[in-house]
Chains A and B, each alone.
Chain A
Amino acid sequence: MSFGIPFAPEQASSLAPGVDHLFYALLAFTFALGIFLSALVIGYSVKYRAGSPADRSGERSRSAPLEIAWTTATLVVAFAIFAWGAVLFMGREHPPADAIEIAGLGKQWMWQFRHPGGQREIDELHVPVGRAVVVSLASQDVIHSFFVPAFRVKQDAVPGRTTHVWFTATEPGRFHLFCAEYCGTEHSGMVGWVVAMQPEDYAAWLERQGSGDTLAQQGEKLFRALGCSGCHENSTAVRAPDLHGVYGRPVALANSQTVMADERYLRDSILQPAREVAAGYEPVMPSFDGLVDEGELQMLLSYLKSLSPKEASP
Chain B
Amino acid sequence: MSGAVESEAFRDAERERQADAFGMWIFIGSEAMLFGAVMLVYLTARMAHPEGFGEASSRLSLLLGTVNTAVLITSSLAMALADLLVKLGRRRAAAWALAATALLGLAFLAVKGVEYADEVREGLAPVLGLPFAFEGADPRGAQLFFELYFASTGLHAAHLIGGLAAIATVLATWRRSTDAACLRRTRAVGLYWHFVDIVWVFLFPLLYLVHR
Judge A-B direct contact (beta carbons within 8 Å): yes
A interface residues with partner B (beta carbon < 8 Å): 255, 272, 274-275, 277, 283, 289
Chain B residues with Cβ below 8 Å from A255 are: 51
B128 within 8 A of A: no
Contacts of A289 in B (CB 8 A): 140
Digitize B64-97: 1 where CB-to-A-CB distance is under 8 Å, 0 elsewhere: 0000000000000000000000000000000000
A residues within 8 A CB of B49?
A: 275
Contacts A272-B138, A274-B138, A275-B137 known; 6 new A-B pairs at CB < 8 A: A274-B51, A274-B136, A274-B137, A275-B52, A283-B137, A289-B140
Does B141 count as interface, using CB distance less than 8 angstroms? yes
A277 to B51, CA, bound (A): 11
**6 A-B contacts, Cβ less than 8 Å apart?**
A272-B138, A274-B138, A275-B138, A275-B141, A283-B137, A289-B140
Interface size on B, residues (CB 8 A): 8
A256 CB to nearest chain B CB (Å): 13
How far, in angstroms, from A277 to B137 measured CA to CA in the complex? 10
In the bound assembly, the distance between CA atoms of A283 and B141 in angstroms comes to: 15
Q: Is the interface of A mostly helix, strand, loop or mixed?
A: loop
Residues of chain B within 8 A (CB-CB) of A277 are 137
Q: How far does the alpha carbon of A283 sit from the alpha carbon of B137 in the complex, in Å?
A: 8
Rounded to whole angstroms, the CA-CA distance of A255 and B138 in the bound complex is: 14
- In the bound complex, what is the Cα–Cα distance between A255 and B136 (angstroms)? 16
| Chain A residues in 8 Å Cβ range of B140 | 272, 289
Contacts of A272 in B (CB 8 A): 138, 140
- CB of A274 to closest CB in B, whole Å: 4
Q: Give Cα A268–Cα B126 distance, bound, in whole angstroms.
A: 22
> Which residues does chain A contribute within 8 Å of B51, judged by CB atoms?
255, 274-275
A274 contacts which chain B residues (CB < 8 A)? Answer: 51, 136-138
- Which residues of A sit under 8 angstroms from B52, Cβ to Cβ? 275
